[in-house]
């Protein structure tokens, strides 16, 4: 499923919930299925969030380790994807806090998304490149809100749950992020925001 707002395909929430139930029963095959299903999505999210390729796999694995060790942490109040993205967000924030010195990833805006495949058309790649360039100078929290909205097609309530903040905070972050992105895009697709 592709839409104008997002570039990600979403797994079936019912399948995800069934996999979590099986993982709670220590089913390794279910965990492998869930891992394969979420690896590209989490990689893309984490690349934009932590901006340090060397940390992405570490944070992703820490996230999935929580899923394996604490499947009972999923209580069914939200989608499994929201629960997993919230874990990833917290793990990424912890990893960023542990770093001594910030490092800019000079190639972030030119690196292809982990989800990019040969079937993507030129227009979608151009939109993604423009967006990635525009979010380059946003803070981690602003990047997370933009990423979760446009690439994961999540609603503000889900984003608030992932980021552990009120919905109004998410709306404020999105307002400021859009304002900065419009300036950075200088007329290139700025009406798309």
CATH of the domain at 55: 1.10.1740.10
Specify whether the CB–CB gap between 86 and 160 falls below 8 A: no
Q: What angle do CA 190, 85, 27 make, to 5 degrees?
A: 145
CATH of the domain at 164: 1.10.10.10
Beta-strand runs (E) in the chain: none
Res. 6: pLDDT tops 50? no
- pTM given for the model: 0.60
| Count of domains for the chain | 2
Residue 3 maps to a domain: no
Q: What is the separation of C-alpha 40 from the centre of its chain, rounded to a whole number of angstroms?
A: 10
Q: How confident is the model at residue 119 (pLDDT cuts 50, 70, 90)?
A: low
Q: Encode pLDDT of 39-92 as tens digits.
A: 999 999 999 888 888 889 899 999 999 999 999 999 988 999 999 999 999 999
Residue 106's pLDDT is 59
Last-in-domain residue among 101, 130, 164 = 101
């Amino acid at each position: 499923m592709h839409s104008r707002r997002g570039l990600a395909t979403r797994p079936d929430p019912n399948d995800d919930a069934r996999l979590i139930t099986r993982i709670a029963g220590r089913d390794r095959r279910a965990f492998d299925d869930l891992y394969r299903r979420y690896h590209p999505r989490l990689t893309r999210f984490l690349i934009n969030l932590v901006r340090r390729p060397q940390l992405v796999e570490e944070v992703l694995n820490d996230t999935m380790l929580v899923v394996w060790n604490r499947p009972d942490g999923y209580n069914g109040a939200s989608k499994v994807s929201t629960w997993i993205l919230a874990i990833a967000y917290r793990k990424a924030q912890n990893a960023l806090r542990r770093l001594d010195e910030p490092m800019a990833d000079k190639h972030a805006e030119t690196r292809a998304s982990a989800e990019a495949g040969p079937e993507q058309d030129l227009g979608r790649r151009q939109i993604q490149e423009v967006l990635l360039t525009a979010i380059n100078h946003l803070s981690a929290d602003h990047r997370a809100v933009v990423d979760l909205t446009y690439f994961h097609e999540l609603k503000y309530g889900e984003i608030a749950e992932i980021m552990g903040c009120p919905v109004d905070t998410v709306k404020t972050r999105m307002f400021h992020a859009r304002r900065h992105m419009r300036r950075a895009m200088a007329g290139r697709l700025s009406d798309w925001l």
